[in-house]
């Protein structure tokens, strides 16, 4: 029997539908958002993605990434004495950045291969205590960028979806994001008082930076980078509760007070984090994974949530590459059965596509994922 209060399928545009999802209002059908893929991303330059994009244009909503300008430690880059040298070795590009500080130079090395869409960091600026002392000697003035191109980008997206403000990180990651991963983990475990002071300094910078973005018209949706690097087994839940929740909660309130929305990006184990995420107050979570990568099913995550929250993802990208078409469809059906079709669950693959080449099976299964979402998602 149909729900008399449910809008007719197709009543809303993709833009309207996603705004209703963000407001936790009932929608007319299952939202399907291919994570980080849209007609407005770099994937259009690679023919292998074209069949997926065409299928998505027919059936999906788009959260189209708009890159928010950033800088090291949210500091005005004009204060830095920094130089980047570039090398090319075949299809590989290497960037070596030297940052001169009052206490001596720091270096970072980043690598990009043609067949991968993102850059990787081979060496971070801060790898030990001496480097950290240099880092903390850097001058600071707030970074105040303009959002050039956002209005034009918003018009380009139009009714197909919403601009997704990508690139803002929370206070903890702003404080320690330039630390090498091994040094960062040890530092966070062994020096909590020093870490707290760093986070509190960073929080002031993040708050003022986000306030500036909001005053410039940034929105309507912020993609919030926060808990992911610190979920179990990297750090215990108590670490998130102490060094993330109270700080993020303040920023999310600021964004909400300006009438905008926040979706937290977070892979990994979320069983212990859902209550933290709800306390922070974000509107949704993107790239939620299914077991065994996650330690909770979609149904369990919804049961743990003690406030309105939508979850987006659950179909593993590697399953697109290895499942049969029927197995993939069954996975979608199970996800829709757990998540429902009224906007609490948003179907998508639980990872951004970064490869310049993907297999034909991945393409076929990605399209099958979309078509299965249409089939089980109340689209007709």
Q: Tell which wins on pLDDT, 355 or 173.
A: 173
Give the end of a domain, one of 94, 117, 137: 137
182 found inside a domain: yes
Same domain? 256 vs 112: no
Q: Residue 284's domain is classified under what CATH number? A: 3.20.20.210
Considering the domain architecture, whether residues 129 and 69 belong to the same structural domain is answered as no
* Structural domain includes residue 2: no
CB 75 within 8 Å of CB 82:
no
Nearest C-alpha neighbor of 175 from the set 187, 164, 190, 166 = 187
Integer angstrom CA distances of residue 166 from 63, 68, 186, 199, 215: 10, 6, 29, 21, 17
DSSP bridge partners of 324: none
What pLDDT score was predicted for residue 327?
98
Q: 113 and 216 share a domain? A: no
Query: Residue 379 — φ and ψ, nearest 5°?
Result: -80, -15
**Under 8 Å between Cβ of 341 and 377:** yes
By residue range, what is the domain housing residue 163? Answer: 14-75+141-376
Does a structural domain hold residue 3?
no
Mean pLDDT within 225-232 = 95
Where does a domain end: 137, 157, 183? 137
pLDDT at 4: 59
Do both 111 and 149 map to the same domain? no
Q: Is residue 6 part of a domain?
A: no
Residue 245, number of CB atoms within 10 A of its CB: 19
* 251, 210 Cβ separation under 8 angstroms: yes
Same domain, 94 and 58: no
pLDDT of residue 1: 40
pTM (2 d.p.): 0.94
* Cis-peptide into 227, omega within 30 deg: no
Of 122, 137, 152, at which residue does a domain stop? 137
Residue 352 to residue 354: CA distance in whole angstroms: 6
pLDDT digits (tens, 9 = 90+) for 142-199: 999 999 999 999 999 999 999 999 999 999 999 999 999 999 999 999 999 999 999 9
**Mean pLDDT value across the chain:** 95
- 5 falls within a domain: no
Any long-range contacts for 89-94 (C-beta under 8 Å, 24+ apart)? Answer: 91/115
Are residues 87 and 170 located together in one domain of the fold? no
Q: Which two tokens stand for residue 310?
A: 């939508």
Integer angstrom CA distances of residue 308 from 24, 229, 247, 253: 7, 24, 20, 15
- What Å distances lie between residue 80 and 76, 99, 100, 198, 295, CA to CA? 8, 7, 7, 20, 43
Cα 308 to its chain centre, rounded Å, is 19
- pLDDT for the residue 29: 97
pLDDT value at position 162? 98
Do 126 and 260 fall within a single domain? no
Domain count, the chain: 2
Based on the fold, state whether residues 171 and 259 are members of the same structural domain: yes
Are residues 34 and 47 located together in one domain of the fold? yes
Question: What is the distance between the alpha carbons of residues 206 and 68, in angstroms, rounded to a whole number?
Answer: 13
Mean pLDDT, residues 194-216: 98
Task: Answer whether residue 302 is part of any domain.
Answer: yes
Q: What angle (nearest 5°) sits at the alpha carbon of residue 118, between those of residues 114 and 121?
A: 105
Confidence of residue 7 (pLDDT cuts 50, 70, 90): confident
Nearest to 12 by CA among 150, 162, 166: 162
Residues 245 and 274 in one domain: yes
Quick one: 129 and 102 in the same domain?
yes
**In-domain check, residue 125:** yes
Bridge pairing between strands 62-67 and 81-89:
unpaired
Which pLDDT does position 2 carry in this prediction?
Answer: 53
Q: Are 90 and 62 within one domain?
A: no
- The number of C-alpha atoms within 13 Å of 129 and in the hemisphere containing its C-beta is 5
Q: What is the DSSP letter of 343?
A: S
- Determine the pLDDT at residue 3: 63
Whether 314 is covered by a domain: the verdict is yes
CB of 287 closer than 8 Å to CB of 312: yes
Q: pLDDT (tens digit, 9 = 90+) per residue, 93-148?
A: 999 999 999 999 999 999 998 777 678 999 999 999 999 999 999 999 999 999 99
């Amino acid at each position: 029997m149909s729900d008399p209060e449910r809008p007719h399928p197709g009543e809303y545009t993709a833009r309207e539908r996603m705004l209703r999802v963000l407001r936790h209002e009932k929608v007319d059908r299952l939202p399907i958002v291919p994570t980080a893929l849209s007609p407005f991303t770099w994937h259009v330059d690679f023919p292998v993605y074209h069949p997926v994009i065409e299928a998505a244009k027919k059936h999906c909503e788009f959260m189209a990434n708009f890159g928010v300008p950033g800088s090291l430690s949210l500091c005005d880059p004009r204060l830095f004495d920094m130089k980047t040298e570039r090398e090319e070795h075949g299809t590989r590009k290497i960037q070596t950045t030297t940052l001169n500080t009052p206490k001596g130079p720091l270096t970072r090395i980043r690598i990009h291969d043609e067949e991968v869409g993102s850059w990787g960091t081979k060496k971070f600026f801060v790898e030990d205590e001496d480097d950290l002392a240099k880092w903390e000697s850097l001058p600071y003035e707030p970074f105040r960028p303009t959002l050039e191109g956002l209005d034009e980008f918003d018009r380009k997206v139009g009714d197909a979806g919403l601009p997704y403000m990508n690139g803002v990180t929370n206070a903890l990651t702003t404080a320690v994001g330039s630390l090498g991963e091994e040094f960062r983990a040890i530092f966070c475990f062994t020096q909590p008082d020093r870490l707290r002071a760093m986070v509190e300094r960073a929080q002031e910078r993040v708050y003022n930076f986000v306030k500036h973005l909001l005053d410039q018209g940034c929105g309507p949706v912020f993609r919030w980078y926060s808990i992911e690097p610190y979920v179990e087994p990297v750090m215990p839940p108590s670490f998130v509760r102490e060094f993330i929740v109270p700080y993020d909660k303040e920023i999310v309130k600021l964004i909400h007070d300006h009438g905008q929305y926040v979706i937290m990006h977070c892979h990994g184990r979320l069983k212990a984090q859902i209550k933290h995420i709800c306390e922070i107050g974000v509107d949704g979570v993107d790239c939620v994974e299914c077991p065994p990568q996650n330690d909770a099913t979609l149904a369990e995550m919804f049961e743990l949530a003690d406030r309105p929250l939508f979850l987006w993802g659950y179909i593993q990208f590697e399953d697109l590459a290895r499942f049969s078409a029927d197995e993939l469809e069954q996975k979608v059906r199970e996800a829709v059965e757990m998540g429902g079709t009224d906007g609490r669950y948003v179907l998508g693959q639980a990872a951004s596509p970064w490869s310049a080449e993907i297999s034909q099976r991945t393409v076929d299964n990605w399209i099958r994922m979309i078509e299965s979402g249409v089939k089980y998602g109340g689209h007709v």
